[in-house]
Structure 1
């Protein structure tokens, strides 16, 4: 088995000299992100999608082609989706809902690379409350004053108009709770967006299991934000998870 490189406390998102190198890295991380969703048993009903912006064709994003189980994703299974929803590179079709949701968000937030959404065991139940998170656990501090709720009844998004409303609700935050639908996170890298998603799911679990929990005080939450809300923490969370759930990263190169 080809293991991940050792993870050190000061490791951060790598940078690359060329667009081709950046693209290849994003594609591999995207395929690993889908593998992680699969390892968590998320998306087993075809529900969910993760996108990664192309470093050159910045109005396009990479997506897993339709019909591939998340736990079997490889780089060769990725397709590039253009501004009109057509596949412009790679072979296969896409889940049109992914285009309807993701394209407006990428358009509205040019600084982000990745958008992640699926239906989970705790995020979806919590979203049915149409309520924001309270700071009732360590991970919740990452979203203190940095998340939103999409109060909309369109739980099956069938047009980019729905995606535009989600993008408007998201605003400049990194998480939006989609009412009666689930969680959606964004990040400046695949790793960061996925790290926020994992943390948001943990926060949802705490809300579901401890509905009467006493919140962390605002002063303490603000003090802890410097470390827990740092994008590097999102990156590290994903990297810990894939080392546990997808121990051989070369599987995405098959």
Structure 2
């Protein structure tokens, strides 16, 4: 899917444009900040209250490492300082490479293989939700039942596997294989998982996927729009910049004071 020209859209006040090039240190700080805000957005949706779920942010320098929220920290208390750096062996470190903190085991088992298999992806997001999880039990892809559905109908996959606990890296490798090049993978009996070329897009795609799952749960026999109409809608809804822009709306609506994560 071709990218949308950012110049066609008015900018958000105080937000650096999509695609801004930063130094490594500035990019690391940005990704960590967006990751912490992403957890806050999830918390505002009442997600992760059972300790389930994770959002990753690939480190821009040590690209086989990624940042996750420290184990046991509620999503609503996420801050940049409470993120930990996870190495390819699962060891938890800080920015200087010193062992510290802990990590959700499933978070490592899922995110490490996905980010290894998808060098284009900066972030992956997954948690258990009111509609995404029940829809996943149907082991069926999204249909073009709503406007937001069109962001995914041409860019989705299904992980038809019973390993819902993901106790091993091998389970994560199977998820990565099922995901392929898509932005969304529906994990059987488990829920949605999304990836993005920015943290912002990965988080936004997940929130949008939950909205789409709600439509499917509430109108399972709904009349879908045509493939032609879905492709037209996807031309503006599916590009990465659209996910990035949705994140800006989510942040402004659900994290009114983003400085809380600093």
TM-score band, normalised by the shorter chain? over 0.9
Within 5 Å, give how 1:1-254 maps onto structure 2: 9-10=10-11, 12-89=17-94, 91-253=100-262
TM-score by length of 1: 0.94
Deviation at 1:211, TM superposition (A): 1.2
Deviation at 1:215, TM superposition (A): 0.5
Q: Secondary structure at the match of 1:59?
A: coil
More deviation, 113-122/238-247:
238-247
Q: What is the alpha-carbon root mean square deviation over aligned residues?
A: 1.1
TM-score by length of 2: 0.92
**Are the aligned partners of 1:104 and 1:167 in contact in 2 as well (CA < 8 Å)?**
yes
**1:66-115 CA deviation, whole Å, 9 max, x = no partner?**
01000000000001000000012163111111000000000000111000
Q: Secondary structure at the match of 2:56?
A: strand
Deviation at 1:60, TM superposition (A): 0.3
- Measure the CA separation in 1 of the matches of 2:126 and 2:188: 13
Q: Secondary structure at the match of 1:93?
A: coil
